[in-house]
Structures are given as structure tokens and as C-alpha cells.
Chains A and B, each alone.
Chain A
């Protein structure tokens, strides 16, 4: 059995919420289990509040689990030595939704990109300019001279996102976590960024964890890879991209697919929502007992779904689902 690059084991993340006297802990991720292999594209899909961004940040070591472990090459990242942790943080890079917020506005692109190169001794003061130029070319910002001494605000949204990608790959990571990297980029330019990410993953042999709410984009970027569907801090289904879109098993995944509008008037108008018990998502601060989807699920069974959380079971090879429709008690 190949060892996964990253293994998330029974992870729970809790945030403190509320003011001093009413302060309490909110569990935003609960019993998360995921394995991501070397070179793999793994998609994390969910709506706002599902915990997908929190899980991404947990995997890069920004949040410390309240329960469970995050293993990098078999090693618990929170019991690593300082040097090991530093090396891990270098090998697992993250790019964020808003490239403007993540690039220092008073630094030139040269300064932004030379910093990690010099810090990790991947360039010397003598060849750093050449190395930065190579990076810019690699992400399609050519000719590099046109971009090197500009400031982030002088670039378009798409160009800024390319700069953050360049910064992330500067340190030759083994894994890239991309959190909605195209949601703030113009529609006409999104595919260019997706293609760039897919190409870089291939060329650099990285794993790519792609986080999004958009299944259509995921189908495109994660072709041949796997997807995990998240709902209210839980993973409800894991399958290959093709299987998940063609044969969704969890009622929530089915709902997501039924609700997603498509750029085709006849197709999109023929899609109807299933009859939901409730339209609105419950608050993560007060998740429903049992299966967290039970308050909306069209297949809800009283006394079962609202009592016990369903276990994650493998229905077909590589296709996992957490739903009482498929599990025996």
C-alpha cells in the first residue's frame, strides 16, 4: 500500500465563539478522514459554511486540531520538530481566493517573488532576478520585464492570481492547496488559471487540493482525480470525479447537482429541485443531531437520521458515502 502524502485522521476543529460570558466552542469540522496521494488532484466541494476552507487550512498547518491528527508522509505535523515543521510548511503551499489581499500592496512583484527564493536559498542575490523571470514565464506572465517591477494593483485579477501561484511554486512544493482561486477572476480568464494549475501539477509532480463550491469547475480541473463533498463540517461522500457526477449517492450531493445552474437554457430549466424538508442550511453553531443533513433531506427517516450519525461506508470500490440509505444499522 502506498503511503498517502497527507492523511487526515478523525480530525475535529473547534473555534471559540461569542462574548466573554456566553463564550463557547463551535465545532466547525467533525471526524474528518481524508487521504491525499502524491501527484493526485483532489477536489473539496461544499457551500459556504461547510468547512472546506477550514479543512484546507488545517491541512497546511494553519489550524491545530482539537481532536485527531494530520499526517504528512506518515508524520503527525503537530509533533514535528521546529525544522521538520518548517520544511512541511514549505512543501505544502496554499493559494487563496483573493489574490489582492494575499499580496503585499507596497511590494513589487519582484520583491514578492524573490523573498521565498532567498529565504529558502533557492536563489542567490546574483541569480535571483533570473529565477524570478523564470517563475513569471512559468505562470504565463510574459515578457517578465513587463511585470517584475509593477505593484499588485497595476495587474488585473487574473494576473495577480498568477503571481500568487508563482509565489507558491517558487519553493517547489509537493502539494498545492488552492482555495477558490478563480472566484474573483473574470469569467473569460478563469479557464486560463485552471489550465495553468493543471499543467503545473503535472510538470512539478505536485498534488493539488482544489477547494470550490462549483462542481462544474471541479470536473474540469480534477479530471481523473477524486472529490470529497462536505456539508456542515462533515464529509458526506468521496468518489472519483466522474463517478460522483454521474452516480451521486448522498442526497446532499444529488441536491447540489440538481441545484447547480448551467449555461444552457433548455438544460438548466429542466432541472428541478427535489422536495426539501427545509430550504435553509442550519447554523454550524447548532448542528442537528444525527445526520447533519436530516433537516433538509427528502429521504429523512424519523428516529434514525435524527438520532445517529451515519457511518462512512464504501458502497463500491473507492466510492464512500455517509448515509443511512446505504448503511445497515
Chain B
């Protein structure tokens, strides 16, 4: 039985896209638990399936994508609801109100001819029905202050009058308006200058403290995961390779891919030797047999070429999908 603290439980999820050359296996047998009040980092390179996983939870997949199997159990309302089985009409009750998604590139999320003020009002109306506009704006002012913006100036502005960093922070405030229990942040700081990036990460930390909102932070940047997350899941070729506490992942990585990734990032201080992982990420239409990482893995054994290792709990709270750690 899932523990009290579980908010989302993804089980054996498989998602594919149809492309001209064949089926793209974007999410492969993913199982992942997310607990109330935590920030979970979903880290992977392009094509690892991290964004598809987020879109699947929100049921915002494009029409050429299909959930093949699996469940996405949401516990936010007390009882378990399988989001994967909900119709478009039913899922709307959950979007924004229960689970919000802040996309990468906030620049495009706003309607260019609407003032920011009206974005707040319209969002409230769309999800709550009739609302008191003054109430909504009062709330909006509080949230804008929280993300370190001047509320009145921002509310009066059109989207193009705000800088990228300001838009991104406004979008965060907007996502918080309906007090969702879970926020999915997809590369929330990409395309921003480093100062805005740091400010947004600090703001997210405040939000988490203030509202105990659960967050899934999707990023390709290990440094951003290091800055904000409590736990990290590492994805590669559609699969989760390793899950653990943030310090475990960074200071004691187990999966050869996690180790390689950490070794590949240059640092500002110290004498760390940097090295890239040999080879290239696999073709998701034509995956190698066995473990998808084996062609690039320095520890690859005979078994790795034949059988795909399952994600196994090797220590409490520590999951790894690698034959080095699985004896069965």
C-alpha cells in the first residue's frame, strides 16, 4: 500500500510517438513515486524522455503520441485517481488546480494582447467559475511579491513589456494562483541569464517553504538539480537509471551513466578531471538490445547486451537499473 505521504505514483508507464521511421520509444517502463512537499529532479539529456513523462502526467501529449500501458496514480484528493485513464474533460479538473505545469520558454505561454492582470483573472475564471476580480488581484499581488516583482507595474503590463526573467517569474506566480498541490517545472530557467536563474531557484525554494508545494523539476543541467532538489531521478533513453537523495546522487553515484554525467561537467574550482561519455545517445526508434546504455558503458558485461536490467531498490530509497548491482 502506498504510504500516507505519496502524492503521485507512476507505475510501469510506456509512451511512444509515431514518427515516419517508426515508433519512438520515449518513455520505457517508468515507475516513480513522488512524495508530498518534496522537490524531485528529473534529470536527463535531450531525448531521455523527461519532458514526455511530464506531458503524460498532464495529458498534454501531442496527437501522434500514445500511452501504451501503465498508470499514473494521483493521491492529492485523498483517494487514488489514475490520471492515465481520465478523459480530456475529466483531466481539466486537475490541470492548474491540482497540478500545474510551467513550460520551458515562458515567453510563449502568455497571450500577447492581454495584460498580465487579465491573465490572472482569466485563469481564475476558467477553473473556478465566477470569481471576485478584486480578490484574485489581491492574491496575484501577494504572489508577484513572492517572486520578487513589483506587483502593480507587472499587472498593468503586456507580456512584451517584461524581460524574459520577469515573464518566467510571472508565470510561476500565475501557476501558483490556484494553489496546486503539485507543480511540474520543465527547464524553468533555460534561456535566462544566470542572475535571473539564481533568483528563480531561490524563489522556488521560498514557495516550497511557504506552501509546501510538491515540485517536479525537469532539467538537463545537473547544477540546477543540485541547487534545488531533495531527490533526483536520472533518465536515459526513456528509462529511469537511478533514483536517490540529492547528496547520494552527487556524492556517491552508482549507475555508470550517472557517474559519467557527473564527470562530464566542468566546475569553477578544484582540479576535477572532466571527461565525456564515449559514443552517442541511442536512436529511440531502434534501441540496442539489453541495457540501452551498454554501448557507452565502461563496465558492460555479456548480460548487459542481452537483458535490460530492472530498476531495483538496492538500499532504502536508492534505486538503480544496472546489472552491476542486481544479482538476480
Are these two chains actual partners, yes or no? yes
Q: A156-B280, A264-B250, A280-B165 are in contact. Are A216 and B194 (CB under 8 A)?
A: no
Are A261 and B221 neighbours in the complex by a CB distance under 8 Å?
yes
- Complex Cα distance A157/B220, Å? 15
Are A280 and B267 neighbours in the complex by a CB distance under 8 Å?
no
B224-236 near A? 1/0 per residue, CB < 8 Å: 1011000000000
Q: At the interface, yes or no: B166 with Cβ under 8 Å from chain A?
A: yes
Question: Looking across the interface, which residue of chain B has its beta carbon closest to that of A191?
Answer: B276
Complex interface: chain A residues within 8 A of B165 (CB):
279-280
- Complex Cα distance A269/B250, Å? 13
Residues 82 to 141 of chain B near chain A (Cβ within 8 Å)? none
One of B60-68, B177-185, B198-206, B317-325 at the interface: B198-206
Complex interface: chain B residues within 8 A of A259 (CB):
194-195, 197-198
Residues 176 to 217 of chain A near chain B (Cβ within 8 Å)? 186-192, 194-195, 213-217
Q: At the interface, yes or no: B298 with Cβ under 8 Å from chain A?
A: no
Complex interface: chain A residues within 8 A of B76 (CB):
none
Identify which of B191, B195, B197, B201 gathers the most chain A CB atoms within 10 Å of its CB: B195
- Complex Cα distance A158/B278, Å? 11
Q: A188-B261, A191-B266, A220-B266 are in contact. Are A273 and B195 (CB under 8 A)?
A: yes
Q: At the interface, yes or no: A47 with Cβ under 8 Å from chain B?
A: yes
Are B250 and A265 neighbours in the complex by a CB distance under 8 Å?
yes
A282 to chain B, nearest CB (A): 9
B150 to chain A, nearest CB (A): 10
Are B222 and A187 neighbours in the complex by a CB distance under 8 Å?
yes
Are B197 and A187 neighbours in the complex by a CB distance under 8 Å?
no
Identify which of A47, A259, A279 gathers the most chain B CB atoms within 10 Å of its CB: A279
- Complex Cα distance A115/B45, Å? 34
Are B264 and A261 neighbours in the complex by a CB distance under 8 Å?
no
- Complex Cα distance A148/B265, Å? 31
B139-166 near A? 1/0 per residue, CB < 8 Å: 0000000001000000000000001011
Complex interface: chain A residues within 8 A of B224 (CB):
261
- Complex Cα distance A257/B268, Å? 9
Residues 119 to 133 of chain A near chain B (Cβ within 8 Å)? none
- Complex Cα distance A258/B201, Å? 14
Are B220 and A261 neighbours in the complex by a CB distance under 8 Å?
no
A31-70 near B? 1/0 per residue, CB < 8 Å: 0000000000000000111000000000000000000000
By the criterion of a CB under 8 Å from any partner CB, how many residues of chain B are at the interface? 41
Are A269 and B163 neighbours in the complex by a CB distance under 8 Å?
no
Complex interface: chain B residues within 8 A of A159 (CB):
280
Q: How large is the interface on A (under 10, 10 to 19, 20 to 34, 35 or more residues)?
A: 35 or more
Are A280 and B268 neighbours in the complex by a CB distance under 8 Å?
no
Q: At the interface, yes or no: B5 with Cβ under 8 Å from chain A?
A: no
Are B148 and A279 neighbours in the complex by a CB distance under 8 Å?
yes
Are A189 and B276 neighbours in the complex by a CB distance under 8 Å?
yes
- Complex Cα distance A169/B137, Å? 58
Q: At the interface, yes or no: B37 with Cβ under 8 Å from chain A?
A: no
B163 to chain A, nearest CB (A): 5
- Cβ-neighbour of A262 out of B163, B223, B246, B275 (below 8 A): B223
- Complex Cα distance A85/B267, Å? 40
Q: At the interface, yes or no: A256 with Cβ under 8 Å from chain B?
A: yes
- Cβ-neighbour of B268 out of A157, A158, A195, A216 (below 8 A): A216
B65 to chain A, nearest CB (A): 22
Q: At the interface, yes or no: B260 with Cβ under 8 Å from chain A?
A: yes
Q: At the interface, yes or no: A89 with Cβ under 8 Å from chain B?
A: no
A-B contacts counted at CB < 8 A amount to: 120
Q: At the interface, yes or no: A96 with Cβ under 8 Å from chain B?
A: no
- Complex Cα distance A219/B197, Å? 21
Residues 214 to 272 of chain B near chain A (Cβ within 8 Å)? 220-224, 226-227, 246-247, 250, 260-262, 264-269
Complex interface: chain B residues within 8 A of A194 (CB):
266
Q: At the interface, yes or no: B69 with Cβ under 8 Å from chain A?
A: no
Are B226 and A268 neighbours in the complex by a CB distance under 8 Å?
yes
Are B280 and A281 neighbours in the complex by a CB distance under 8 Å?
no
Q: At the interface, yes or no: B196 with Cβ under 8 Å from chain A?
A: yes
B38 to chain A, nearest CB (A): 14
Q: A191-B276, A279-B148, A280-B165 are in contact. Are A262 and B199 (CB under 8 A)?
A: no
Question: Looking across the interface, which residue of chain B has its beta carbon closest to that of A158?
Answer: B280
Are A191 and B275 neighbours in the complex by a CB distance under 8 Å?
yes
Residues 294 to 309 of chain A near chain B (Cβ within 8 Å)? none
A108 to chain B, nearest CB (A): 19
- Complex Cα distance A257/B223, Å? 14
- Complex Cα distance A248/B121, Å? 46
Complex interface: chain B residues within 8 A of A258 (CB):
198
Are B276 and A264 neighbours in the complex by a CB distance under 8 Å?
no
Residues 264 to 288 of chain A near chain B (Cβ within 8 Å)? 264-266, 268-269, 273, 276, 279-281
A99 to chain B, nearest CB (A): 14
B89 to chain A, nearest CB (A): 39
A178 to chain B, nearest CB (A): 15
Question: Looking across the interface, which residue of chain A has its beta carbon closest to that of B246?
Answer: A265
Are A188 and B266 neighbours in the complex by a CB distance under 8 Å?
no
Q: At the interface, yes or no: B4 with Cβ under 8 Å from chain A?
A: no
- Complex Cα distance A279/B221, Å? 22
- Complex Cα distance A261/B269, Å? 12
A309 to chain B, nearest CB (A): 22
Q: A188-B45, A220-B274, A269-B227 are in contact. Are A263 and B199 (CB under 8 A)?
A: no
Question: Looking across the interface, which residue of chain B has its beta carbon closest to that of A266?
Answer: B247
Are A186 and B281 neighbours in the complex by a CB distance under 8 Å?
yes
Q: A191-B266, A191-B275 are in contact. Are A264 and B45 (CB under 8 A)?
A: no
Residues 95 to 115 of chain A near chain B (Cβ within 8 Å)? none
Q: List 9 A-B contacts (CB under 8 A).
A: A186-B46, A186-B281, A187-B221, A216-B268, A217-B266, A256-B194, A273-B199, A280-B196, A281-B163
| Extra A-B contacts (14), CB below 8 Å, given A186-B45, A220-B274 | A47-B193, A47-B194, A49-B193, A187-B222, A188-B261, A188-B264, A189-B280, A256-B194, A261-B224, A263-B222, A264-B226, A264-B250, A265-B250, A266-B247
Closest 4 pairs (CB-CB, A-B):
A261-B223, A191-B276, A192-B276, A188-B277
